[in-house]
């Protein structure tokens, strides 16, 4: 990615975070990035496209990291721990972009929203598959794997709101949360599993 293009994306993330998508104009983004409005449109297209690319960049980074974890293999428990650690690294690396994603996704065009949802679904399927593998080999408790996935990602995704990096290192946080979650899913715990409806 060119330096100019990255400056535009960084400026847009800052401005969408500060003012919201509606409150930040293309002129504002160009000024913050130190480029002309004409250059912004040449490199990025519309403000709508800028928002879409912010989303695409961190979703692709997460997908690549999770794909590498799955390709490396290992037990379901080990893979789940590594997926959680990598997810939290993505949250740390793309904190501003992720905050913009959750707060401003409603402004995506229908086509861009559909593409983003498809990327997100492919990402989340990897987590569901690891949970199901752990249930199949007896290392994770029985229960609806989709509910487990939603609970795990719901907790992890909130990290953009509270994780500042000063509580503990990214690596230590990833290890702590990964162990917390995998211990919670472990089949040997005595927490009752609700009967399916």
Q: CATH code for 47-185?
A: 1.10.357.10
Q: Domain coordinates of the chain in residue numbers?
A: 1-45, 47-185
- Asked whether 180 and 128 are in contact (CB, 8 A), the reply is no
For residue 107, the 8-state DSSP code is: G
Low-confidence ranges of the chain (pLDDT < 50): 1, 190-193
How many C-alpha atoms does 32 have within 13 Å on its Cβ side? 19
pLDDT for the residue numbered 192: 47
Question: Three-state DSSP class for 109?
Answer: coil
pLDDT for the residue numbered 160: 78
Q: Is the pTM of this model over 0.75?
A: yes
Instruction: Please name every residue paired with 140 in a beta bridge, in sequence order, or none if there are none.
Output: 186
Q: Architecture of 1-45 per CATH?
A: Orthogonal Bundle (1.10)
Q: Are 1-45 and 47-185 in the same CATH fold?
A: no
CA distance 168 to 107: 34
CA distance 42 to 30: 11
For residue 142, the 8-state DSSP code is: S
């Amino acid at each position: 990615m060119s330096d100019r293009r990255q400056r535009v994306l960084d400026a847009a993330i800052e401005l969408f975070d500060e003012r919201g998508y509606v409150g930040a104009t293309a002129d504002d983004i160009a000024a913050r990035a130190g480029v002309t409005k004409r250059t912004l449109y040449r490199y990025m297209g519309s403000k709508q496209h800028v928002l879409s690319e912010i989303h695409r960049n961190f979703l692709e980074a997460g997908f690549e990291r999770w794909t590498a974890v799955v390709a490396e293999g290992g037990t379901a428990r080990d893979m789940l721990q590594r997926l959680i650690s990598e997810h939290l690294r993505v949250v740390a690396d793309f904190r501003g972009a992720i905050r913009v994603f959750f707060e401003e996704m409603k402004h995506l065009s229908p086509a861009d929203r559909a593409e983003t949802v498809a990327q997100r679904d492919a990402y989340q399927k990897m987590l569901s598959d690891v949970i199901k593998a752990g249930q199949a080999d007896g290392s994770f408790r029985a229960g609806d794997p989709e509910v487990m996935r939603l609970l795990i990602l719901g907790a992890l995704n909130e990290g953009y709101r509270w994780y500042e990096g000063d509580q503990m290192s990214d690596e230590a946080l990833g290890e702590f949360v990964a162990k917390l979650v995998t211990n919670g899913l472990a089949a040997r715990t005595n927490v009752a599993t609700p009967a399916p409806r």
